Amino acid sequence: MKKYDVIIIGGGPAAIVTGITVRKFFKDKSALMIKEEADGLVPCGIPYIFHLLGNDAAKNKMGPKSFIDLGGEVIINTATKVDKTKKEVTVKKGEQLGYEKLVFATGSLPTIPTFIPGYNMQNVFYVKKSYPYIQELAFKIGNFKNVVVVGGGFIGAEVAEQLAAVNANVTLIESEPFCFSKAFSPELSLIATNALKNTKVNVMTSTLVKEIIGKNNTVKQILLANGNKIEADAVILSIGYKANTQLAKETGLELNRYGDIHVDNYGRTAIKDISAIGDCAQTFGFLTGRSDVIKLASTATAEARTLGHNIFGIRIKKCTAGTLGVFSTEINGLAMAAAGANEKNAEESSVEVVSAKFSSPDKHPGSLPGVSDLTVKLYASPVDGSILGGEAWGGKSIGEIINIISLAIQKSITVFELVSFQVGTHPLLTSSPVNNPIIRAAEDIVYKISYS
């Protein structure tokens, strides 16, 4: 039986980054990745296969090449059993492989709404992170006239926006009053929903799907809770993701109340030498430390780096306990992003915040061609002024503006410090130094805390 220092089960971002980190920092340690599908996808790129990437899944391929380049080994197979006493993994073909350290990076699977009759009919699809499945969906989807996407989170909205460029009638159904409401404040959810409404997508909010109606087991219509019916040749159900933990359960790993693998701040389970990271593992709220559910590639890879460095014993203290969800998207040319607290999730968790926002053009002067308005909204503690959250919307620079805000949250930077934040500016690249929206929003909060 072949034995490895580290075996990683999975082939997504969490598995790849764990493998890279281990091989980079522990060159004398052998590492094997067991992944069930030969080709992988950049998960975040999946919506763009349907239009921007020309309906070609091959343009969105992702694989463990950098891990292999560093001397890692990969086998394409499914891990079916773990013997935690003998420290062995059995794969589908029956072979056994020994490990010193084992990592579960088995990810997540789309939630299947078995409570909606018709959920398993022909032409009902899911946004699976599977290359062959998405490739086949991409081939088929262009043939349908009426496509209904159920679920107005990031994934459903991004898929609907892309399909609207391909299919004649695309309807998005969301049960909440606004799309994106799990990640954004009510103000930004409204802006985002309107951005989607300005595309060809027919957006139906505050609307519940009751049944998927078909003929000869093929979808024909959607029955809504209000009794109305919508024509549908294809349905894409995008209502969330559940941790893929069957093997973890069978191994005897503890799961939390959301069904995620219970781990500590370093990704270690209660069973010695077994860790879990990424979508299959538990997350804790950054501010509250409470168990919550954040399933993002960005957080999965951060967890993977932490685990990779510390897998043979804690060497680098994790400086931030807790997961900060940083969400960004672009709909109809409008970039939008959020990190940490907003007025809605703060109220839900009984967190006090004071907020302010500031808008300015993202170039200066604002008369330059290609200018976009850039709005930053900051949320801070009303007592010590530390940044607890932020949102930003406007042009492409939002993608990195939110990362500055994320760093400010992670390092507990206060609005008082941001007032003297030193930034670089250039007419073609940034807002004016007079009106940097992060600094101006911080100043407004300073005023609210100290002078009003």
Ligand X SMILES: Cc1cc2nc3c(=O)[nH]c(=O)nc-3n(C[C@H](O)[C@H](O)[C@H](O)COP(=O)(O)OP(=O)(O)OC[C@H]3O[C@@H](n4cnc5c(N)ncnc54)[C@H](O)[C@@H]3O)c2cc1C
Q: Give me the residues that bind ligand X (CB under 6 A), please.
A: 9-15, 34-37, 40, 43-44, 46-47, 78-79, 105-108, 127, 129, 155, 244, 247, 278-279, 295-298, 300
Q: How far is the CB of 201 from ligand X (least distance, A)?
A: 16
- Judged by DSSP in three states, 440 sits in helix
Which CB atom, from 72 or from 278, has the smaller least distance to ligand X?
278
Q: Where are the alpha helices (DSSP H) in 176-317?
A: 186-197, 246-251, 297-310
Pairing of strands 354-361, 218-224: unpaired
> How far is it, in rounded angstroms, from Cα 380 to Cα 132?
45
Q: How far is the CB of 384 from ligand X (least distance, A)?
A: 30
CB within 8 Å of 367: residues ≥ 6 apart: none
Q: Which phi and psi angles does 150 have, rounded to 5°? A: -105, 120
| Helix, strand, coil in percent for the chain, rounding step 5 | 30, 30, 40
CB within 8 Å of 120: residues ≥ 6 apart: 112
- Judged by DSSP in three states, 271 sits in coil
Q: How far is the CB of 326 from ligand X (least distance, A)?
A: 8
Which CB atom, from 11 or from 214, has the smaller least distance to ligand X?
11
Q: How far is the CB of 50 from ligand X (least distance, A)?
A: 10
What DSSP assignment string belongs to 117-144? TTTTSBTEEE--S-HHHHHHHHHHHTT-
Which CB atom, from 35 or from 357, has the smaller least distance to ligand X?
35
The residue among 325, 353, 322, 329 whose CA lies nearest residue 339 is: 325
Q: How far is the CB of 45 from ligand X (least distance, A)?
A: 8
Cα–Cα–Cα angle for 195, 201, 202, nearest 5°?
A: 105
Which CB atom, from 76 or from 428, has the smaller least distance to ligand X?
76
CB 61 within 8 A of CB 39: yes
Q: How far is the CB of 364 from ligand X (least distance, A)?
A: 29
Which CB atom, from 48 or from 119, has the smaller least distance to ligand X?
48
Which CB atom, from 295 or from 364, has the smaller least distance to ligand X?
295
Spacing of C-alpha 242 from chain mean position: 13
Which CB atom, from 237 or from 415, has the smaller least distance to ligand X?
237
CB 272 within 8 A of CB 255: no
The answer for 337, left when phi > 0, alpha when psi is -120 to 50, beta otherwise, is beta
Which CB atom, from 108 or from 199, has the smaller least distance to ligand X?
108
Which CB atom, from 291 or from 403, has the smaller least distance to ligand X?
403
Q: How far is the CB of 105 from ligand X (least distance, A)?
A: 5
Q: How far is the CB of 241 from ligand X (least distance, A)?
A: 7
Spacing of C-alpha 123 from chain mean position: 26
Q: How far is the CB of 207 from ligand X (least distance, A)?
A: 22
